[in-house]
Structure 1
Amino acid sequence: MAQSPPMDVAVVGLGATGLAAVLEARRRGATVAAYDSGRLGGGATGRNAGFLLAGTADFYHRRRDRELYGLTLDEMDRMMAETPTVISRTGSVRRPRSLEEHEDCAAHYQALRDDGFPAELERDGSMIVPTDGSFHPLARASLLAAAARDNEAVLVENHLVDNFDALEADRVIVAVDGGLERVLPELTGRVRTARLQMLATARTDEVRIGRPVYSRYGYDYWQQLPDGRVVVGGCRDQFPDQSWTTASRPTQAVQAALDCLLREDVGVRNAPVTHRWAGTSSYTDDRRPVCEEIRPNVVAVGAFCGHGNVIASMAGRAAVELALDGRSPLAVALTE
């Protein structure tokens, strides 16, 4: 690879977070080079279910969540304006599976309504959030990358960065979700990585699923794509020994559980499964993402606890604020 000229900012990771950081840094006039050990969007960005959900990894129950929930709604509007062709604001469905979850879903609904946010409670106890939606994560990443290149950012795929000092940049932003604690070992014990698994079917008219659905407190989730295929993910909590790992190959046990979910709960009885895959995402014990200066002139951002499709864009911009300004009110809102 030809040596790049010295940059104001180097970004490690070309997923949703890294691309948001690249675009924000260029908006502010900084020169930027970004690197990924694999392909553009090849990590969590390109392997997730494409849910566009307001809020954080924790369901909305506390009044102090109001500001952050509102910020995520604003972010979804921003994302829609950036890439309208790959986003659908259909709403989402939270479908409870137990008496306890029915009660939690009702409390979730009431908390949203009390704070003035739209939500609908169905007769079966399911809750619709009409402001949510879905999108094509990899298509969006491709559009953002094209915009970044058009704005003179340098994007380098298939280039492993194992020495930040070699990047020749004034500031480094490590925008990695899955495996963040491996890239920055000082986060070991605070951040750990989970393997998330999914499958997809052939096109089917057995079901009509108009909105993305999540159940069992978000451990199970599914949606029907515009072309009629159904994608299903989850079940990792049933196999913790297979889930807390940085490995990204699907496993037989979890895939068998996903088959049961597909056939018995989603209602797809006959359509064949055509694809099976896994990706990784990092988690923290307090369910708050990481967005902070972790070493001198090195900002870490990630650990979105499986809920990064909206938060990641916000966190990427917050990381640029930290790198260039030394402070970020948005980072505080996301992490405290």
Structure 2
Amino acid sequence: MPDAHARPDHPPSWYAASLPPSAPRAALQGATRADVAVLGAGYTGLTAALALAEKGHRVTVLEAARVGWGASGRNGGQALAGYGCDLQVLEARLGAADARLLFDFSRDGLRMLKERIARHRIDCHWRDGHANVAIRPRQQRALRADTERMAQRYDYPLQWWDRAQLQRQLASERYLGAQYDPAGGHLHPLAYAQGLARAAEAAGVVVHEQSPVTRLQRGPRPVLHTARGRVEADFAVLAGNALLRGIAPELETRMMPVGTWIGATPPLGAERAHALIRNDMAVADVNWALDYFRLSHDHRLLFGGQASYSALPPPGLRTAMLRRMRRVFPQLADVGLDHLWGGCIDITRNRAPHWGRLAPNVYFAQGFCGHGVASTGLAGEIIAAAIAGQAQRLDVFERIGHRRFPGGPALRMPLLVAAMSWYKLRDRLW
């Protein structure tokens, strides 16, 4: 990663640098048994583990590195209803009634996220408010129409802000209007992941770090194997997302890891920071290769974007990120980046969530497509309910259906890069 603020317990980022080092958890040694074995100590795995433990199940979580090591500890921190795909994708796949049902589930996921933070007293600096912003007239028209559609068809009360109203909250000339969601918001991702782990452990969950799963043994009682031990259980949950490698090939062919990058400025001071975003909301534009940004609790601007579809850092990353940031906020021409980091998100071909079962006793969730802060917790809750015998919600997600990425192992990434280049060109031309 291109951030010089390295520390031994987590990949370098402003998130990691802003928290005290966390005590390591013991690696798995030897054979053990549980009711449920979970691969991955990110939001999905930890929420499922917490929900199952609260229902009385014995749960063991195996994490390859440290809690929140992957996207759960490095993401943009923006939490919102919905999924990575347009709702029209779900309507085409499932029909209007089930698409509405899935959207209502996502609203539940956002509500449960806030309740989880409050109930377990997780200090992750939650702030209310999220805005999608339009750069071009066609985007402005589409975003305003979507605001009306969400009210009419999904009973979801978004606010439409014209340019003048937006500029009263956001000090940028770049945008023509905004779709504002007061129910959305943002948080400190790593602080939330660590707080979620503490809540799960308080409920009785056992979390082993530095315990990468090397093999899933399927059968009447699935087994997660590591180099130094194994967990046999009645049920297994695969929550590795973009970092799930070699464990379940049928999942990996339907998911593509995509790199995304975030920079943090030095502290700007309260006055200068809040002159940029006066109501402290999170913001994202609606380009295919989007910019997203917000303020931190210590008055930095956190600015993300510059996706890498080869999962490698783009050349000249720091220069490119500064150029993008200053295009939004020219008044930051004298400001650099103290931190710059990245990681991989998991996308599906249609950007819809891919949750379900590999077998009656092996569950999985992937395909959060950059919308995972709220929906990962929803996935964890839905999988926990299915294991406990209430599978109706998971059944709806399984009906979405997902195709493999074309090209096989050798060509699927080049084909995706070519496709994304077209979408980036479209963003620039009209």
Could you tell me which residue of structure 1 aligns to residue 145 of structure 2?
A: 107
CA distance in structure 2 between the partners assigned to 1:35 and 1:138 by the alignment: 18
Match of 1:194 among 258, 261, 279: 258
> Could you say which residue in structure 1 is the equivalent of 2:286?
216
Contact 2:347 2:369 in 1 (8 A): yes
Of 323, 346, 358, the residue aligned with 1:260 is: 323
- SS of residue in 1 equivalent to 2:162: coil
Which residue identity does 1:31 align to in structure 2? R
* Stretch of structure 1 that moved more, 278-287 or 64-73: 64-73
Distance 1:163 1:189, change over 3 A: closer
Which residue does 2:376 correspond to in 1?
312
Compared CA separation, residues 183 and 263, structure 1 to 2 (3 A): farther
Cα deviation, 1:171-198, whole Å, max 9, x if unaligned, reads 1111112133643212243211111111
Letter in 2 for 1:214: A
2:158 to 92, 109, 119: 119
Q: What's 2:47 paired with?
A: 20
Correspondence 1:81 to 2:115: yes
Structure-2 change in CA distance of 1:193 and 1:120 (3 Å): same
Q: How far is the alpha carbon of 1:44 from its aligned partner? A: 0.3
1:1-336 to 2 correspondences below 5 Å: 1-3=28-30, 5-60=32-87, 64=97, 65-84=99-118, 85-86=123-124, 88-114=126-152, 115-124=154-163, 125-164=177-216, 165=223, 166-180=230-244, 182-204=246-268, 205=272, 207-209=275-277, 210-217=280-287, 219-236=290-307, 242-245=308-311, 250-267=313-330, 268-295=332-359, 297-325=361-389, 328-335=391-398, 336=400
**1:172 and 1:323 in contact (8 A); partners too:** no
- Give the Å deviation of 1:37: 0.5
CA deviation after TM superposition for structure 1 residue 254, in Å: 4.2
TM-score (norm 2): 0.71
What's the TM-score once normalised by structure 1's chain length?
A: 0.90
Cα gap change, 1:78 to 1:216, in 2 (>3 Å): closer
1:94 and 1:214 in contact (8 A); partners too: yes
Whole-Å Cα distance in 1 between the matches of residues 365 and 102 of structure 2?
Answer: 17
Moved more, 75-84 or 39-48: 75-84
Q: Which moved more, 1:180-189 or 1:191-200?
A: 180-189
Letter aligned with residue 137 of structure 1: P
Which secondary structure does the structure 2 equivalent of 1:259 belong to? helix
Q: Kindly indicate whether the alpha-carbon contact (under 8 Å) linking 2:32 and 2:231 is maintained by their aligned counterparts in 1.
A: no
Mark the runs of 5 or more structure 2 residues left unpaired by the alignment. Answer: 1-27, 164-176, 217-222, 224-229, 401-430
The aligned counterpart of 1:239 is none
In structure 1, list runs of 5 or more residues that go unmatched: 237-241
- C-alpha change, 1:116 and 1:255, in structure 2 (3 Å) is same
Please tell me whether Structure 1 or Structure 2 has the larger radius of gyration of its CA atoms: 2
Aligned CA distance change for structure 1 residues 333 and 257 (closer, same or farther; 3 Å):
farther
Question: CA–CA distance in 2 between the matches of 1:36 and 1:297?
Answer: 20
SS in 1 for 2:151: helix
Shift of residue 226, structure 1, vs aligned partner: 2.1
> Match for 1:28: what amino acid?
K
Name the CA shift for 1:182/1:265 in 2 (closer, same or farther; >3 Å).
farther
Instruction: Give me the whole-angstrom Cα distance separating, in 2, the residues matched to 1:272 and 1:199.
Output: 9
Going from structure 1 to structure 2, the CA distance change for 1:319 and 1:116 (only over 3 Å counts) comes to: closer
Q: 1:295 to 1:66 in 2, by over 3 A?
A: closer
User: 8 Å contact 2:264–2:337 — kept in the other structure?
Assistant: yes
Distance 1:56 1:311 in 2: 7
SS of corresponding position for 1:305: coil
Q: Is the 8 A contact 2:110 2:375 kept in 1?
A: no
- Give the superposition deviation at 1:284: 0.8
SS in structure 2 of the partner of residue 155 of structure 1: strand
CA RMSD of aligned residues (A): 2.1
Deviates more, 1:177-186 or 1:205-214: 177-186
In 2, Cα distance between equivalents of 1:312 and 1:272: 33
In structure 2, C-alpha distance between the alignment counterparts of 1:181 and 1:328, rounded to whole Å: 27
- The aligned length equals 327
Q: Kindly state the Cα deviation for residue 58 of structure 1 after the two structures are TM-superposed.
A: 2.5
CA distance in 2, matches of 1:147, 1:158: 20
